[in-house]
Amino acid sequence: MVWRESSNSKSMPVSVARKIAYEVLRRVEAEGAYASDVLHGELGAEVRPDDAALATELTLGVLRWRGLLDFLLERALKKPIARLDLPVAISLRIGLYQLRFLERIPPRAAVNESVELVKYARKTSATSLVNAVLRRAAAEAKSPPEKFLPTGVSTTRRLAIIHSHPEWLVERWLARLGEPQTISLLTANNRTPRLSCSLHHPERRDETLNSLQESGLRLEPSVLLKTAFAVNGGSPTRTPAFQRGDISIQDEASQTIPLLLDVRPGDRVLDLCAAPGGKTPTLARSAGKTGLIVAADRHAHRLRAMREQFKRLALPKIRLIELDAAQPLPFIIEFDRILVDAPCSGTGTLARHPEIRWRLEPEQLVELNRLQSSLLATALGQLAQGGRLVYSTCSLEREENEDVVAESLRKFPDIVRVSPSEAEGSIFPHLVPRVNIKSLFDNAGQFHTAPGAYQTDGFFAALLERKK
For the annotated catalytic residues, the residue numbers are 394
Cβ distance 387 to 338 under 8 Å?
Answer: yes
- Reference 126, options 135, 138, 117; nearest CA is 117
Angle of helix 280-287 relative to helix 300-313, nearest 10 degrees? 50
CA distance 115 to 93: 12
DSSP class of residue 272 equals: T
CA distance 275 to 273: 6
CA distance 379 to 391: 10
- Reference 65, options 20, 40, 99; nearest CA is 99
Q: Which residues, in sequence order, are bridge partners of residue 23?
A: none
Helix (H) or strand (E) holding 315, with range, is none
Cβ distance 202 to 246 under 8 Å?
Answer: no
Half-sphere exposure of residue 447: CA atoms within 13 angstroms, side-chain side: 31
- Please state the φ and ψ torsions of residue 248, each to the nearest 5 degrees: -140, 155
- Reference 120, options 147, 99, 154, 94; nearest CA is 94
Dihedral, CA of residue 362, residue 171, residue 63 and residue 297, to nearest 10? -40
- Reference 95, options 136, 56, 155; nearest CA is 136
CA distance 339 to 389: 6
CA angle 116, 43, 312 (to 5 degrees): 170
For every residue of 179-243, DSSP letters joined together read: HHHHHHHHHHHTSPPPEEEEES-GGGHHHHHHHHHHTT-EEEE-SSBTTEEEEESS-GGGSHHHH
Cβ distance 13 to 116 under 8 Å?
Answer: yes
CA distance 98 to 107: 8
